[in-house]
Structure 1
């Protein structure tokens, strides 16, 4: 028969045997707090607490000699000692996952010839066991989800908007609901606070101008291209030993906007630490005065290091007027895929940089704000400039790219208006596990309405409904939870 063992932190040791004698309770430990009253028989139930789960798992393994025993000891320590709870799966509990840390050491340790045996003390701060992830999907406004676990479970809902919406609500049959945004009063006007002025993905670069262009610490050379899904760089022009950046740059006039948002999705990879790149966009007003710049770059040799930049006005010196720089945004990684965004509303200017992970969530995020009380950067936006470069004669990076750049004019909402919070195709994530609200991966817990609740799926049938009607394609997932 195959060896009975367990998987911890995704790792299984085939030489490790589970032996009998596990002390794990039959179900989650429950502590009752009682209130006794003089003259009353029995007691009142005051509170119920779910306690951590602690148990011992006897194990055994064989060694060849003393040197092998030391090797196994180090291997066990490296495997079992973790900073946070990690998945724990037992062969004799198929389909169940615990989240555990090891405390103490291997207790009751015995040596008998080549046999070693003892007990591992596991501590589950979250005492529940979890089943395999189950999908949630209902194409209409209502659906039924059957929670097959023995305990209430936390769901993650994803609502894909099929039309513009001012709010999103999902509710169960018990009156519990999550609401973001604002339902519309009959006296209120629903307005779109964002008007798209420009979207470029590489197909209309011939409508952009090659002059006048102004680059920080560099000059324009080479050409832009497209892979029909973004803006690429076929050529940076000839290399030089001069300590300058060089590469293509273009400028585009947009309809004049006082309040605006400019967003660029960009990516760049350095496969060797000798490679460099920078991707940036700059904003100019009607008089060609630079309002600011945003960039992501790797200009460090000998290591993969991606740095962000968000600057007010033109370049006047290193770290001058930079709200975001290598001093507060620098990560040692070979690949960056994410968003650069600058927004101005009234006197407030906001710089935002984030990496977007494989699940579409915004991670490694920074947001910095500046209040322009002196109106130094108050000119109306009229020109957008894009640039991708590399430094001097360093090696070229692997396919740096601007996936898209978008420019929006922003409008401020009046007291009798209600803004849309999501457009067609936007994904609203209501994460009841981590208590997060995301729109297209960006944290938006600020949209949560008073009374909105991160509710659970009850045991058995859960009847769910979404509002506004005919507005969402609803999917999601949950993991059955067991006592």
Structure 2
């Protein structure tokens, strides 16, 4: 039987930036050598051989034959629990080997082939699969280009052995209705290029935005649904939080309100939340839409009302004695770091619920977003928006969880016939991720891609690219990893 002393301990493997060889020794691995491909052949009756139709690069399996050695069965079980947590990612993650430190495989753990087990020793083969079969240079190639250097186009050199997907970050210095990235054979476009007959316009015009202070907020004139107004709200690290929930037999906590400085029949209202709890904690954040009398005409809600700690999201509109929840469901994540918004244009109401995450660069981006709609055919919910309210609540004597408002904003919604909407302005950054086939505006999904545009790759060697409208672009940052087989 193989023992710990028989195996070298210098070979290391990292998965998702964690060294997994702290748990085992590597006997052998496979899948990183000469890589095959699939051949599609057409056979023709009566003719020898066949015709080559196409070749295809399949997914890449990587298998690691491992030997685990610990003091006893108890320690082995605990270490395997820890390793299970590391291996079970939801998406492909970087897989790096110490004999190939300048290359990254993007792999997801698939299954395990178990061998023998004896006391604290255990043999198994870990099976990974790389949906993207290529490996990548560990260090990114980065290019930074200001408006002057963009005038005549830029040239990017892909030094890898295969075409590779880039990421473009385009930061604006002026308003645009479209953005183009054009190569020799491909192009990417978002928005619409206006003609001489078109009039560009801003669809949304912000009229109010919260600031990280309680200045301008007053005690609410409304009573929070199903509870009472009590306690104190303040700002901590830029978030609105409850420092005192008061007491009550149902929902109770502070509630404040502030005028938006306008009275809007059509509007857009977005609120950023951070809501979560541990088992048994109950908590809620409710952002109210208020009429000219300071009474609710709707609300956006993230709450935990069950001991199982599931976050729920709600969007409500109301008028007089009529009320409807056209979003009322359990959220798919255990915590809600995200936003809820509502847009009203005439009889049409549209709401979005979005989960956000913090990226490697420390910036917040939207990872998932869902839309919901309601048509007010009978004109039952047509009161104007004049103010907004915030309420943070606890329930009875239950300990509240995390309940924070990260900010809020209100905009007018403009409609213009024979016009072309501006998609961005000074300071906005559009990110074109050609590997993930996604477009972001300031970290927010913005998939308004032109029908004929496509996510392209940088060809091996030199690539010439043109960005338009150049005069409205402040600078462009390009990132990619050279690709190898």
TM-score strictly above 0.5: yes
1:382 matched residue in structure 2: 386
Contact 2:191 2:450 in 1 (8 A): yes
Give the aligned partner of residue 322 of structure 1. 325
Moved more, 218-227 or 149-158: 218-227
In the alignment, which residue of structure 1 is the partner of 2:194? 184
1:252 maps onto 2:254 in alignment: no
Deviation at 1:82, TM superposition (A): 5.4
Unaligned runs of 5+ in 1: none
| Structure 2 CA distance for partners of 1:280 and 1:103, relative to 1, 3 Å | closer
How far apart in 2 are the matches of 1:201 and 1:191? Answer: 27
The answer on whether the counterparts of 1:329 and 1:366 sit within 8 Å (CA) in structure 2 is: no
Are 2:416 and 1:407 equivalent residues in the alignment?
Answer: no
Q: Residue 369 in 1 paired to residue 379 in 2?
A: no
Q: Return the alpha-carbon distance in structure 1 between the equivalents of residues 258 and 164 of structure 2.
A: 52
Other structure's SS at 2:358 match: coil
What is the aligned partner in structure 2 of residue 482 from structure 1? 484
| Conserved? CA contact 1:347–1:373, under 8 Å | yes
Paired position in structure 1 for 2:445: 443
CA distance in 1 between partners of 2:70 and 2:397 (Å)? 56
Q: 1:223 to 1:15 in 2, by over 3 A?
A: closer
Q: CA deviation at 1:417?
A: 0.8
Q: Following TM superposition, by how much is the alpha carbon of 1:185 offset from its aligned partner in structure 2, in angstroms?
A: 0.9
After the TM superposition, which residues 170-249 of structure 1 pair with which residues of structure 2 at under 5 Å, given as runs? 170-172=181-183, 174-203=184-213, 205-206=215-216, 208-210=217-219, 212-226=221-235, 229-236=238-245, 239-249=246-256
User: Take 1:73 and 1:299, find their aligned partners in 2: how far apart are those partners?
Assistant: 36
Normalising by the residue count of structure 2, what TM-score does the alignment of the two structures yield? 0.81
* Structure 1 residue corresponding to 2:161, chosen from 128, 143, 150: 150
| Structure 1 residues 299 and 147, CA gap change in structure 2 (3 angstroms) | same
Question: Contact 2:430–2:439 (CA<8 Å) still a contact in 1?
Answer: yes
Structure 1 counterpart of 2:428: 426
What residue number does 1:306 align with?
Answer: 311
Q: 1:410 to 1:93 in 2, by over 3 A?
A: same
Aligned to 1:32: 39
Distance across 1 between alignment mates of 2:266 and 2:10 = 67
Q: Which residue of 1 aligns with 2:358?
A: 358
CA contact 2:160–2:482 (8 Å) conserved in 1: yes
Query: 2:178 and 2:162 mapped to 1: Cα distance?
Result: 30
CA contact (8 A) 1:280 1:294 kept: yes
Superposed CA deviations along residues 204-260 of structure 1, whole A, max 9, x for unmatched, are: 733x55463242122333444445845444444xx3343242313224253222221
In 2, Cα distance between equivalents of 1:269 and 1:104: 34
Paired residue for 2:13?
6
In the other structure, the counterpart of 1:281 is 287
Q: Do structure 1's residue 132 and structure 2's residue 138 form an aligned pair?
A: yes
In the TM superposition, residue 36 of structure 1 has moved relative to its aligned partner by 6.5
What is the alpha-carbon distance in structure 2 between the residues aligned to residue 214 and residue 120 of structure 1?
A: 58
How far the C-alpha of 1:64 sits from its partner, in A, is 7.6
Q: Deviation per CA, 1:70-91, whole angstroms, max 9, x where unpaired?
A: 8699679958985875543332
- What secondary structure is seen at the aligned counterpart in 2 of 1:13? helix
- The whole-number CA distance in structure 2 between the counterparts of 1:411 and 1:295 is 26
In the alignment, the residues of structure 1 paired with residue 393 and residue 79 of structure 2 have an alpha-carbon distance, to the nearest angstrom, of 51
Taking structure 1 as reference, are residues 37 and 308 closer, same or farther at Cα in structure 2, changes over 3 Å only? closer
Give the length in aligned residue pairs.
465
Question: Partners in 2 of 1:62 and 1:390 — Cα distance?
Answer: 49
RMSD value over aligned CA atoms?
A: 3.9
Residues 412, 43 of structure 1: CA spacing in aligned structure 2 closer, same or farther, 3 A cutoff? same
CA contact (8 A) 1:60 1:115 kept: yes
